[in-house]
Amino acid sequence: MNKTYYAVFTSTTIAASLLLSGCQLLTGYQKIDEPENATAWAGQIIPVTGEVNIACAGTYHCEITQIDKTSVISTDTHHPVDPTMLVSMSSADGIPYAKLNQREQTQMQVDMIPLVNNKSVKIVPLSASGMHGLTNYYVRVKPIKREIHINFYPENNIDYVERFAMIDEFKESGTYLLRAYRQKSPRDNGSLLEAASPEPLCIDLLKDNLLQRRFCKELDTANQGEFVEASMMNKPVPKAKAQS
């Protein structure tokens, strides 16, 4: 089988955009922490004809834990559950990524063999995580209906996890991004309890940067802790907050 290799040039601008897009950098419980600047990037999302790329962003760290019945990233080790699903990355001379210095890591070759069938899942290292020692990955699958499970880490705390699951058709090939953020909304003058309530965590599904669906965690008594899909009518995509 012929192998297809793509040269990958890293970009701190692209990576920072994926990590911070849509975040409301607040304090305390409401804070989605600003990640540290990653010093080494494994690559960028590479479109492959006839395939779907799925990535997550917006919090200190996030990881796709499951696609359909296939485990992807371990919630215990934060590494791929099955190493054979991880695409190979090397320098032009075939030297593994881990053995390269930072300058050499800025130009990589990624083995992008086309997926075999609808059950195939490939994991691609995307960038260094905002949480020290971890890596952000994205996955490659065929465009069919999928159930996706993702863990979001809104703070620099490995024990604080927001678990999210959704089913989507994923009918068209392209890049799908699940981006988390705190929804900022105007408040009426109410009680101190209402004023102290955290802004709800929301997750947008974007395809090639276009908003497709939105889910927000309900804070009312009946739906506490649940993500509920919101109507897309007159719902603009929240813009990333400028860094001060």
Collapse the DSSP code of 185 into the 3-class scheme (helix H, G, I; strand E, B; otherwise coil) and give the result: coil
Residue 40 has a pLDDT of: 33
Residue 23 has a pLDDT of: 41
Number of helical H runs and strand E runs in the chain: 2, 14
How many angstroms separate the CA atoms of 59 and 76, rounded?
A: 19
Collapse the DSSP code of 40 into the 3-class scheme (helix H, G, I; strand E, B; otherwise coil) and give the result: coil
How many angstroms separate the CA atoms of 179 and 139, rounded?
A: 15
Token pair 């779907």 in the structure block, residue: 52
- 154 occurs within a structural domain: yes
- 93 occurs within a structural domain: yes
Q: Residue 91 in contact with residue 108, Cβ under 8 Å?
A: yes
Residue 68 domain boundaries: 5-178
Grouped pLDDT means (10 residues each) for the chain, 244 residues: 45 39 37 38 76 96 97 95 85 58 60 91 90 93 98 95 96 96 65 56 95 88 75 54 42
Residue 35 has a pLDDT of: 40
Q: Please work out, in degrees rounded to the nearest 5, the angle formed at the alpha carbon of residue 125 by the alpha carbons of 119 and 129.
A: 130
Per-residue tokens: 61: 């760290």
182: nearest Cα among 28, 16, 31: 31
- 85 occurs within a structural domain: yes
Residue 32 has a pLDDT of: 46
Number of separate domains in the chain: 1
Q: Residue 15 in contact with residue 127, Cβ under 8 Å?
A: yes
